[in-house]
Amino acid sequence: MITKQALGNILFGMADILRDKVEDYKSYILSLLFFKRLSDNYQWEIENAKNNFKIDYVRGPSPRELEVITKKKHDFLIPEGHFWEDVWLASIDKKNEKLDEAVNAIADQNVDKNGKYFLKGIINTVRWNEPAPDGSGGKKLDPEVLTNLINYLSAVDLSNNNVTVDVLGDAYEYLIKRFADENKGGTMAGQFYTPQEVVDIIVRYLKPQKGETVYDPTCGSGGFLLNAAKYARSSYETQKSIRLFGQELV
């Protein structure tokens, strides 16, 4: 499994590729990381569902049952032709366009029962195919830079075989800390980031009990609430033993 330190090294490498190329590398990294995570985990979800089927029924699924598993056993849907490998295999002159199409197709495909597109504005926050602002006819993010970024991340398995379910949260936390470190020693970014050591101490001091509610009125990215859930999981075997509420103005 990838450790937090190894994940940090991967993210540092991605940031290094993007340095001086874009104004907000965090959004680029997180969007790309999310897309890779969904693609990698798609096949893992199928294999996991097949294994669970064998345990439950003491046999392998029939072709029809396998078809249902392939279509239904996913947290998120990815339309055919819009997986990570499809973008990776695209020619360099089509890379930006293919990636932009993929993340937008995924955002359009995932709708809840109330008709809400719950991945819009999350996986497709970056306009990967945006033209360069200088009117040169090129791309804002150079296709060679994007290709280097994709090739770099392609070597990393982000499925549940290799990472914990907290991988995106860990990545976000790392990037916020890095932003704080770069921004005048954190003096301006302090409102966004609380050191993990401080969060751990406060949660262990509070010791959330079974049936209690944990409320954070300035929750930001939810670090305190996530740690409270982890505390409950380690103490009571399930994070569902407590309730979590948070709000944020900024």
Same domain, 199 and 172: no
Task: List Cβ<8 Å contacts ≥24 apart for 45-49.
Answer: 45/73, 45/74, 45/75, 46/70, 46/73, 48/73, 48/160, 49/73
Number of domains the chain contains: 2
- Tell whether 58 and 137 lie within a shared domain: yes
- Say if residues 200 and 227 touch (Cβ distance below 8 Å): yes
Residues 61 and 18 in one domain: yes
* Boundary residue ending a domain (132, 155, 184): 184
Q: Is 179 inside any structural domain?
A: yes
Is residue 12 assigned to a domain?
yes
In a domain, 48, yes or no: yes
pLDDT, mean of each 10-residue run, the chain (250 residues): 88 91 88 95 92 91 88 90 97 97 97 92 94 91 96 94 84 76 57 79 93 92 87 85 90
Q: Which residues constitute the domain of residue 224?
A: 194-246
Strand partners, 139: 131
Question: 203 and 164, same structural domain?
Answer: no
Q: What is the pTM of this model?
A: 0.80
85 and 51 in one domain?
yes
> Are residues 132 and 233 both part of a single domain?
no
pLDDT of residue 191: 64
The pLDDT score that the predictor gives to residue 185 is: 53
pLDDT for position 180: 66
Q: Given this model, what pLDDT does residue 69 score? A: 86
